[in-house]
Structure 1
Amino acid sequence: MEVEKVNRSRNRTCCCIGTTICIIIATVILILILLFTVFKPKRPVMSFDSMSVKDLDVSFDITKLKVYLNLTIDVDLSIKNPNKAGFKYSNSSAFLNYRGQVVGEVPLPADQISAGETKAMNVSLTLLADRLLSNSDIYSDVKSGVVPLNTYVRLPGKVNMLGFKFHAVSTSSCDFTVYTSNRTMGDQSCQYKTKL
């Protein structure tokens, strides 16, 4: 009788342990399936929606072969977060470049984009004329009426999925031309990259 009770108790214990292990394994498998399907981290997508010349003043000093250029460009960006969780990005900057040289910079404060949200950002990039004084190409470019420029934005951040943090970096770079004679822009070519 006592042996049967001990055997029954052992069988119940083994059954409980087996059931518990099966539940744990099934839960882990379910979480992994969700992580790699529904909750799989996706790359935030940044795009330039529009760019326009806000302000442009040009003057020449023919005796010194110098040009004074004041330029402000309005840039409308959007960042789409396709994830099922928020994307939190760090402090960053938007840059205005002339022939590989940084000539303008605007800080982008840290923020968060909710799951599935598209966030619009409006940035005004001002060309800092003093940074062009040593550049010999600017005189001939402005005189020809065609100034090649580039905007560059890099947003590093994190996506938090079910307690796991995934790092993501979204970058965008746009080459364009400012026509000083009629204060317009053209020849825009943009590239977007995201690393997860």
Structure 2
Amino acid sequence: MADQQKIHPVVDVEAPPLPPPPPPATAPLIPPGSSTSEKGIPLQHPPPPLQRTLPVIHSTPPKRSCCCKCLCWTISLLVLILIILGATAGILYLVFKPKLPNYSVDSLRISDLRLNLDMTLYAKFDVKITANNPNKKIGIYYEKGSRLSVWYTETKLCEGSLPKFYQDHQNKTVLNVSLTGQAQSGSTLMKALQEQQQTGRVPLDLKVDAPIAIKLGSLKLRKVKILGDCLLVVDSLSANNLISIKASNCRFRLKL
């Protein structure tokens, strides 16, 4: 085999020499933006905190509706009316010093107490009541529609009404009221009354429901009601005899 020819580069003697290659780039010892101490030691500063920008929400004040204003005015007006009424009531109380009338049962007489053919119990009571008005500046009108009734346990024996009249200041009025009525299950009721009469103590309940009107000076006020409850204990239920009232406990209240 023939020898392979080798090609060698030819050096040009007259060509100028090539410049030396640049030195490799090195990182600076002190990063930009940092400071050094007196000894030249770089001081590290913490990176600044991230700042988040929150969206700005523009709120507008709520608008009052006409209904809200109307409600506020109504409540304010009601409060004002209540204050005026309270002040007026306080002034009237101090001027007139009202007192509740009181009543007492003076006597009770049974005109009739018998069994009917239909086995109902017929009763007729005559009651004498004293009504006392202790007020110095207040008169009382007793109106129509009053009810006065006598009960034994839970059974109404008879019923009547008070007369219509006017009672003046510091006045006592004696009222004679007749009460009549019929009760069912007469035989059973009569037997229970006779057994109770043998003990000498018969409990009766006298109930009062009287509409009245108050007079303050020359002013007549609206109607109110006097409700009363008198627990009586009598010795007997003999007809046409004056019955002795052994105990009486009356309570009255005013209903507006």
Shared fold by TM > 0.5? yes
Instruction: Give 5+ residue unaligned stretches, structure 1.
Output: 1-30
Matches within 5 A, 1:185-196: 185-195=244-254
Matches within 5 A, 1:176-187: 176-177=233-234, 179-180=236-237, 184-187=243-246
Q: Which residue of 1 aligns with 2:138?
A: 85
Structure 2 residue identity aligned to 1:75:
V
| Counterpart Cα distance in 2 of 1:171 and 1:143 | 28
1:16-55 deviation digits (Å, cap 9, x = unpaired) = xxxxxxxxxxxxxxx999733341222122222x223343
Q: Which residue of 1 aligns with 2:178?
A: 124
| Counterpart Cα distance in 2 of 1:123 and 1:44 | 18
Q: Which residue of 1 aligns with 2:64?
A: none
Runs of at least 4 residues off by over 6 Å: 31-34
Structure 2 residue identity aligned to 1:165:
L
Q: Which residue of 1 aligns with 2:67?
A: none
Name the larger-Rg structure.
2
Q: Which residue of 1 aligns with 2:49?
A: none
- Normalized against structure 1, the TM-score is what? 0.61
Count of aligned residue pairs for this structure pair: 159
Structure 1 residue identity aligned to 2:193:
D
Matches within 5 A, 1:46-125: 46-48=103-105, 50-56=106-112, 71-83=123-135, 84-91=137-144, 92-125=146-179
Higher RCO, Cα 8 Å, sep 6+: 1
100 and 157 in structure 1: CA distance in 2 versus 1, 3 angstrom threshold: same
| Counterpart Cα distance in 2 of 1:57 and 1:33 | 50
178 and 135 in structure 1: CA distance in 2 versus 1, 3 angstrom threshold: farther
> Are the counterparts in 1 of residues 139 and 214 from structure 2 also a CA contact under 8 Å?
yes
1:148-174 deviation digits (Å, cap 9, x = unpaired) = 432222223222325473745252423
- Normalized against structure 2, the TM-score is what? 0.49
185 and 36 in structure 1: CA distance in 2 versus 1, 3 angstrom threshold: closer
* Cα shift at 1:122: 0.7
The secondary structure found in structure 2 opposite 1:141 is helix
* Cα shift at 1:116: 1.7
Moved more, 174-183 or 112-121: 174-183
Considering fraction of residues, name the structure with more strand.
1
142 and 67 in structure 1: CA distance in 2 versus 1, 3 angstrom threshold: farther
Matches within 5 A, 1:25-40: 35-40=92-97
| Counterpart Cα distance in 1 of 2:248 and 2:90 | 39
| Counterpart Cα distance in 2 of 1:88 and 1:171 | 17
> Are the counterparts in 2 of residues 85 and 159 from structure 1 also a CA contact under 8 Å?
yes
**In angstroms, what is the RMSD of aligned CA positions?**
3.7
Kindly, what percent of the aligned residue pairs are identical? 22
| Counterpart Cα distance in 2 of 1:68 and 1:51 | 26
